[in-house]
Amino acid sequence: MEKLQSLRGMVDLLPAHTPLWQRLEATAREHFRRAGVAEIRTPLLEVTELFARGIGEATDVVGKEMYSFLDKGERRCTLRPEGTASVVRAAIQHGLLSQGPQRLWYGGPMFRYERPQAGRQRQFHQIGLEFLGFADPRSDVEAIAVAWDLLAELGVGGLALELNSLGSSDDRARYRSELVAWLEVRRDQLDSDSQARLATNPLRILDSKNPETQALLAGAPTLAGALAPGSRERFAAVQAGLEALGIPFQLNPRLVRGLDYYSHTAFEITSSQLGAQATVCGGGRYDGLVEQLGGPATSAIGWALGMERLVLLLEQLDSQRSAPAPDLYVVSRGTAAEPLALRLARELRLAGRAVELDLSGAAFGKQLKRADRSGAPWALVIGDGEAEQGQVILKRLRLPAGQIPGGSIPVGQADVEHAAAGQAEERLSLLELRERFA
């Protein structure tokens, strides 16, 4: 029988890698809490129209990359390719905007039919932030600062912020006419993808990865030159706010982002530690999206960061790639010992200790070898004799050093004294065990 495999671009997350994901998620959750940002969770499956209307029919995401199908009710459905449209839909549907400005964050899987590569899969994961109902340029600065500080807190180095203004819809319409006129004269010098975009989404040509097209664009008119005075003033205020916070940035007039709903501020944060796929976070302002999806006119700004790329980077930075070591490894064998081991493992876990329970029933020697490989500093050994006397054997596998390896609970003074005394093992009553580790 043929062995079943996961679909291409759908990757299993195995136990050896989950600690990094958990650390990333926990750090982000605490970071958002301190910034007063509340979590929102939206469905993976939405009506296709949400993304067609919100992201734009002419974008690559809608035109080429979405997982869309008809369900049993003949409804057009799509696995979400990004998070912003879903958050806006939820805010409109549940009347959140009538309750005042919203500071929201989300996390979870997204789906795009792209060519899989390192840090980019067809099911990928994002953490994102959305500020709904904020128009002041300071909200742009704060949103960027939250992203910048989160990445720094995660230990990501070599950060660089690229910044641009896409202006208002009027600014972009004026610029679009100038750019199309300039490119039409040079159509035969464009790559095939850019030629197709000339009629549908000409601003995306600015983001072309084709070297010849990029060289040609060096002489093209820039969006900065088409900005109205109000848009220029707004962009200057954003830059001044970032400078006041000491966040360095570089202006990039070719930065347009890939989705139609962006306006005014657009930005990307890159890391030199990631090589060619350097972008770890991107976002911008989308003042027209809420109204476009049926809600009231609402100013908004947001961003998303790719978790796969961050995990790749954290793996490079973190020499400990295996799962954290438990605080104790419980070894037991016998009809009386094994139920007691099960109860003690549960009790110690509820007291905050990380405990791994050997369930093999193998000989004590084999179980102790696994205990040593686990990295735990202590093994708890229970045989029927110990169980009948209400005792356990505490065996030191390695010297604790102020904090149990891989754990978050400091070693107690008794642990340190016991280790310093050089005792390899000792027999404890159940009460003494609870006092030592609970």
* 368 and 305 assigned to the same domain: no
Strand order in the sheet with 279-285: 38-39, 102-111, 123-132, 300-306, 279-285, 263-271, 159-165, 250-251
Residues 44 and 130 in one domain: yes
Q: Among 317, 344, 363, which residue terminates a domain?
A: 317
Could you tell me the pLDDT band of residue 231, with boundaries at 50, 70 and 90? very high
The CATH number of the domain where 270 resides is what? 3.30.930.10
Q: Which two tokens stand for residue 108?
A: 């979870």
Per-residue pLDDT of 38-96, as tens digits, reads: 999 999 999 999 998 877 766 667 777 999 999 999 999 999 999 999 999 999 999 99
Mean pLDDT of all residues in the chain? Answer: 87
Output the pLDDT for position 185. Answer: 82
Judgement on whether residues 289 and 421 belong to the same structural domain of the protein: no
Both tokens of 386, joined, read: 């110990």
Q: Is the dihedral of CA 30, 36, 42, 46 positive or negative?
A: negative
Q: Does the pLDDT value for residue 405 go beyond 80?
A: no
| HEC per residue, the chain | CCCCCCCCCCCCCCCCCHHHHHHHHHHHHHHHHHCCCEECCCCCEEEHHHHHHHCCCCCHHHHHHCEEEECCCCCEEEECCCCHHHHHHHHHHCCHHHHCCEEEEEEEEEECCCCCECCECCEEEEEEEEEECCCCHHHHHHHHHHHHHHHHHCCCCCEEEEEEECCCHHHHHHHHHHHHHHHHCCHHHCCHHHHHHHHHCHHHHHHCCCHHHHHHHCCCCCHHHHCCHHHHHHHHHHHHHHHHCCCCCEECCCCCCCCCCCEEEEEEEEEHHHCCCCEEEEEEECCCHHHHCCCCCCCEEEEEEEHHHHHHHHHHHCCCCCCCCCCEEEEEECCCHHHHHHHHHHHHHHCCCCEEECCCCCCHHHHHHHHHHCCCCEEEEEEHHHHHHCEEEEEECCCCCCECCCCCCECCHHHHHHHHCCCCEEEEEHHHHHHHHC
Co-location of 150 and 282 in the same domain: yes
The answer to whether 411 and 402 are in contact (CB under 8 A) is: yes
In a domain, 191, yes or no: no
**Confidence tier at 403 by pLDDT (50, 70, 90):** very low
Residue 11 in any domain: the answer is: no
pLDDT at 420: 38
**185 within a domain of the structure (yes/no):** no
Q: Are 129 and 29 in contact (CB under 8 A)?
A: no
Among 352, 370, 355, residue whose Cα is nearest residue 409: 352
State which of 286, 317, 348 marks the end of a domain: 317
Which residue shows structure tokens 């958050």?
Answer: 87
Copy the structure tokens of residue 409. 């609970």
- Please give the average per-residue pLDDT across 235-258, as a whole number: 90
> Does residue 94 sit in the same domain as residue 240?
yes
386 and 267 together in one domain:
no
Q: Is the pLDDT of residue 415 over 60?
A: no
CATH number of the domain residue 346 falls in: 3.40.50.800
Q: Are residues 284 and 164 in the same domain?
A: yes
Q: What is the mean predicted confidence (pLDDT) over 323-340?
A: 91
Residue 416: what pLDDT? 38
107 vs 124: CA distance, rounded Å:
11
Q: Is the pLDDT of residue 275 over 80?
A: no
Q: Identify the domain boundary among 295, 317, 339.
A: 317
Count of beta carbons in the 10 Å neighbourhood of residue 353: 18
- Cα separation, 349 vs 333, in Å, equals 20
Give the number of domains in the chain: 2
**Residue 400: pLDDT over 60:** no
Q: Are 344 and 307 found together in one domain?
A: no
Residue 196 inside a domain? The answer is no
Is the residue at 193 inside a domain?
Answer: no
Query: Residue 143: inside a domain, yes or no?
Result: yes
pLDDT at 238 over 90: yes
| Same-domain pairing of 141 and 234 | yes
Do 275 and 235 lie in one domain? The reply is yes
Q: What is the mean pLDDT of residues 175-183?
A: 87
Give the mean model confidence (pLDDT) for residues 269-281: 81
Query: Does the pLDDT at position 410 exceed 70?
Result: no
Question: Backbone phi, then psi, for 407, in 5-degree steps?
Answer: -105, 170
User: Tokens 């109902």 sit at which residue?
Assistant: 133
pLDDT digits (tens, 9 = 90+) for 82-132: 999 999 999 999 999 999 999 999 999 999 998 887 777 999 999 999 999
Q: How far apart are CA 112 and CA 80, in angstroms?
A: 8
Kindly tell me if the per-residue pLDDT of 310 is higher than 70: yes
Same-domain check for residues 287 and 424: no
Task: Report if residue 125 sits inside a domain.
Answer: yes
Per-residue pLDDT, 260: 62
pLDDT digits (tens, 9 = 90+) for 252-266: 988 876 556 788 999
CB-hemisphere CA count at 13 Å for 182? 18
Q: Could you list the residue range(s) of the whole structural domain that residue 309 is in?
A: 18-168+228-317
25 and 53 housed in the same domain? yes
Residue 302 pLDDT: 97
Lowest mean pLDDT among 137-151, 164-178, 223-237: 164-178
Closest by alpha carbon to 270, among 157, 166, 165? 157
Q: Does residue 205 sit within a domain?
A: no
In 90-113, which positions are buried (b, 16+ CB within 10 angstroms) versus exposed (e)?
Answer: bbbeeebbeeeebbbbbbbebbbe
Between CA 432 and CA 371 the distance in angstroms is: 22
pLDDT for position 172: 84
Confidence class of residue 401 from pLDDT cuts 50, 70 and 90? very low
